[in-house]
Structure 1
Amino acid sequence: MTQSMQDTALELFHCAIQRADPAAAVAAQLSAEPIAPLAPGGRRIVLALGKAAVPMMRATLAALAEPPAAALVVTNPENLTDVPGAEVIAGSHPVPDQSSADAGARVLSLVQTLTAADQLIVLISGGGSALIVAPAPGLSLADKASVNEMLLASGLEINRMNLIRQALSQLKGGGLCRAAAPAEVTALILSDVIGDDLRAIASGPTVAPLGQKADARALLQAEGLWNALPAAVKTHLETPEDEREMPAAQNVLIGSNRFSLEAMRDHAKALGWHVPDLVDDLTGDVAEAAQRILDTAQTPAPDRPTALLFGGETTVRLSGTGRGGRNQELALRIAQAAKSLAGDWVFLSGGTDGRDGPTDAAGGLVTPDTWAEIARAGADPAALLANNDSYAALKAADALVTIGGTGTNVADVQILLRRP
């Protein structure tokens, strides 16, 4: 029975990924609302940023009546592949490096040539924040990388991290629109942010920022991070704000975590599972998220096959030196609490991009026996969890979900299947 439930959980996971297919989402949008014709003498530039940049660019080029004057793709190394008619380069993710800075410089050099007669089409997906970096004047790549590593280890929620990232960038928080002004800008956006705040997706290159420098300063001070900042970053955050008006852009959401949750729900119901209300805001610390899942499930076993579906993006406070990611640690924590779930069950937590942290796994798939199986393999699951080494723990029990890069990213989904 458990193996069948594991297969169903994986089937639902792939259903979520398919619903977030970036090429299909772009094609549907451009079929419903084609890009407006160019003004006389105008040029069109297409820019694709993020983990789903390659398929989004392919779909856009196929939908356009004429080839653009220029087309640039910036994606992560795992998804790097040729796109006929476009230049394709890679940045670094999740921590930006020189390749990300080179990509940021290439983007700026391309869009700063645009005029009022020109069009910029921007295809945005998750990961764009790290893949292109253009430090604000006075900051170095090392400064930004230092801050980014600090943020990733801090446990801050993604919107709060992006508030700080935007304050340190020439491209984030509407910076791309400022650089492209006065050209017409249209952005098609695949959301990896819970709640679909367009200011937070890839740090919002085509929308107004989440806040001002003063907000970033206050947040860093409140979290006890201010004193650890590089001196140049402190100086920049204490300089006056840019008071220029934000240029207008047409921003269109074409895919999201919620869309994928609804697709999983519909498929689970078609398979005969009872699906209670979706939980589409599973965020915050991974330990708290695990408890929320357990609270939602409640202790008694259901009286019929039930699928609890969650979506979100949690955070992990790094206290150890192990290897893993938020989905793997969440799965491991549910395995640890197996006794609180009656009946037969399986739990899957996975990133829709196919990558969880700096590993080759998308997440984990655990059962009531996983915790004991780790111990039988000769490992100490509690010690591995305490060391943030969820990858090694789940690998010992053959509980990793490894599917490779998916070419999309709409955050994470969780599936808890239970039978009486």
Structure 2
Amino acid sequence: MTLDPKRFLVSVFDAAVAAADPEKTIRAHLPPRPKGRTIVVGAGKGAAQMAAAFENAWDGPLEGLVVTRYGYGAPTSRIEVVEAAHPVPDAAGLEAARRLLGLVAGLSKDDLVVALVCGGGSALLPAPALGLTLADEIAVNEALLSSGAPISAMNTIRKHVSTIKGGRLAAAAWPARVVSLVVSDIPGDDPALVASGPTVPSAGSRADALAAIEVYGMKLPEKVMAHLASPAADAPRPDDERFARNEVRLIASAAVSLEAAAAEARRQGIEAVILSDSIEGEAREVGSVHAAIAREVAGRDRPFRKPVLILSGGETTVTLRAKGKGGRNSEFLLSFAIGIDGVEGIDALAADTDGIDGSEDNAGAFCNASTVARMRAAGVDAKAMLAANNAWTAFNAVGDLFVPGPTGTNVNDLRAILVR
């Protein structure tokens, strides 16, 4: 049977997403029922699907609220789902954060708070610190997204300008016990960094936040910098007694999804290798390195013998140089496409497992040896598009965008390179 490269790549993407399906993962991580109330809170691009799965699995009364991105809702009966803007926060997210803090106020030690947390929650839960506004938090978010800083640095900054991030939601729930069920989209799977850790404090300090701002040359509003200069910005520490009874359970991650993708490839007769589940760096540079590896395999059968599927995960960054359209996966793949231009036998897919790459409706894109030539024939200069952060436009011109729609989970990026 002749292998259809595009269909094959979609099948391994689907396997990766299925491995992170909350319906399959939540049941194994349910906490014991409490003597008192069960309150469910949550945020992220897969929070509605997590809420639906938790309702189906929970044997007992519960109530709660989760916030997700516009268009990412799912039917629930006992947990309210509200939608807000991502990646730029809006007033709906501000109101959702206020309601979540109100929902956990006044609880007792006999009550249980279950936090459903996944990627995207940082933008979906704007809650500016005292003296700051939503406009200030939006300015911070935009500066972070265009800085090229790794997600760990971005979330350390976010938690110090917020009243809900950095463990503050869990602190507000004290003395109730908080159990956080986390779907990780963070390289290294530190749950304190997922959605900037609303229920999981991290050791990252205010000094770390200020250092990152300087290193990455971020220009933040004067009010924000004044706030960060004050001890009032300090976030709760992990050894705070309010977190002593709490528990964190990682229910899905990039590592598990990459293993599932590799297993699917092997099921179809293609050997698979995983480079890493935590690759970071500039998307275009990571794309160029992946292209060099693919060329080496195609031309010299090293470091892997073909046919082979080369997989990697993690979260690259994009330093904005222009106001083009696209996200980190399409930018990675455009750089990759330039690097394999004319090298036959290579096909690739780069996509965000939540179904959305950047601010457009695609998860990522496909490419092969002919991609750059087809762009040229369509009047598109691939290198100029890459320089302008305009990868979406380039792939759209040749019909190679990957648009699966919202997947209901988020374990970060999947890069799948088939060398035939």
Would the TM-score normalized by the shorter structure come out above 0.5? yes
Of 46, 54, 57, the match for 2:51:
57
Of 58, 64, 71, the match for 2:64:
71
**What SS does the aligned partner of 1:275 have?**
strand
Residue in structure 1 matched with residue 319 of structure 2 by the alignment: 317
Q: CA deviation at 1:297?
A: 3.0
**What SS does the aligned partner of 1:409 have?**
coil
For residues 8-407 of structure 1, the aligned pairs below 5 Å read 8-30=8-30, 35-39=31-35, 42-68=36-62, 70-225=63-218, 228-240=219-231, 241=234, 245=240, 247-248=242-243, 249-299=246-296, 300-302=299-301, 303-339=305-341, 342-407=343-408
**What SS does the aligned partner of 1:272 have?**
coil
Post-superposition CA distance 1:213-270 (Å, at most 9, x none):
1221122123222xx3212211211111367725221000010011010001111112
Q: Over aligned residues, Cα RMSD in angstroms?
A: 1.8
Evaluate the alpha carbon distance shift between residue 327 and residue 277 of structure 1 in structure 2; reply closer, same or farther with a 3 A threshold: closer
**Partner letter of residue 308 of structure 2?**
T
Separation in 1 of the partners of 2:262 and 2:208?
Answer: 38
Separation in 2 of the partners of 1:144 and 1:290?
Answer: 31
Post-superposition CA distance 1:179-203 (Å, at most 9, x none):
1111111111111111101111111
**Partner letter of residue 223 of structure 2?**
A
Separation in 2 of the partners of 1:90 and 1:147?
Answer: 21
Contact 1:13–1:413, Cα closer than 8 Å, also in 2: yes
Contact 1:301–1:342, Cα closer than 8 Å, also in 2: no
Evaluate the alpha carbon distance shift between residue 213 and residue 377 of structure 1 in structure 2; reply closer, same or farther with a 3 A threshold: same
Q: CA deviation at 1:369?
A: 0.2
State how many pairs are aligned: 409
Contact 1:301–1:343, Cα closer than 8 Å, also in 2: no
Contact 1:194–1:313, Cα closer than 8 Å, also in 2: yes
Contact 1:12–1:267, Cα closer than 8 Å, also in 2: yes
Post-superposition CA distance 1:139-179 (Å, at most 9, x none):
11111110110000111111110010011111111111111
**Partner letter of residue 280 of structure 1?**
D
**Partner letter of residue 273 of structure 1?**
I
Q: CA deviation at 1:301?
A: 4.5
TM-score, length of structure 2 as denominator length: 0.93
Post-superposition CA distance 1:383-418 (Å, at most 9, x none):
222211111110111111111111110000101101
Identity, % of aligned positions: 39
Evaluate the alpha carbon distance shift between residue 243 and residue 334 of structure 1 in structure 2; reply closer, same or farther with a 3 A threshold: closer
Contact 2:356–2:363, Cα closer than 8 Å, also in 1: yes
Separation in 1 of the partners of 2:223 and 2:313?
Answer: 38
Q: CA deviation at 1:62?
A: 1.9
**Partner letter of residue 265 of structure 2?**
A
**Partner letter of residue 65 of structure 1?**
D
Separation in 2 of the partners of 1:196 and 1:358?
Answer: 24
Post-superposition CA distance 1:64-98 (Å, at most 9, x none):
22221x22121111212431112221121111111
**Partner letter of residue 171 of structure 1?**
I
Contact 1:57–1:123, Cα closer than 8 Å, also in 2: yes
**What SS does the aligned partner of 1:199 have?**
coil
Q: CA deviation at 1:27?
A: 2.2
Q: CA deviation at 1:134?
A: 1.3
**What SS does the aligned partner of 2:273 have?**
coil
Separation in 2 of the partners of 1:291 and 1:390?
Answer: 15
Separation in 2 of the partners of 1:290 and 1:193?
Answer: 19
**Partner letter of residue 112 of structure 2?**
Q
Separation in 1 of the partners of 2:285 and 2:293?
Answer: 12
Structure 1: 4+ residue segments shifted above 4 A: none
**What SS does the aligned partner of 1:154 have?**
coil
**Partner letter of residue 19 of structure 2?**
R
Q: CA deviation at 1:344?
A: 0.6
Q: CA deviation at 1:342?
A: 4.4
TM-score, length of structure 1 as denominator length: 0.93
Contact 1:126–1:409, Cα closer than 8 Å, also in 2: yes
Separation in 1 of the partners of 2:122 and 2:216?
Answer: 22
Can you give the 5+ residue segments of structure 1 that lack an aligned partner in the other structure? none
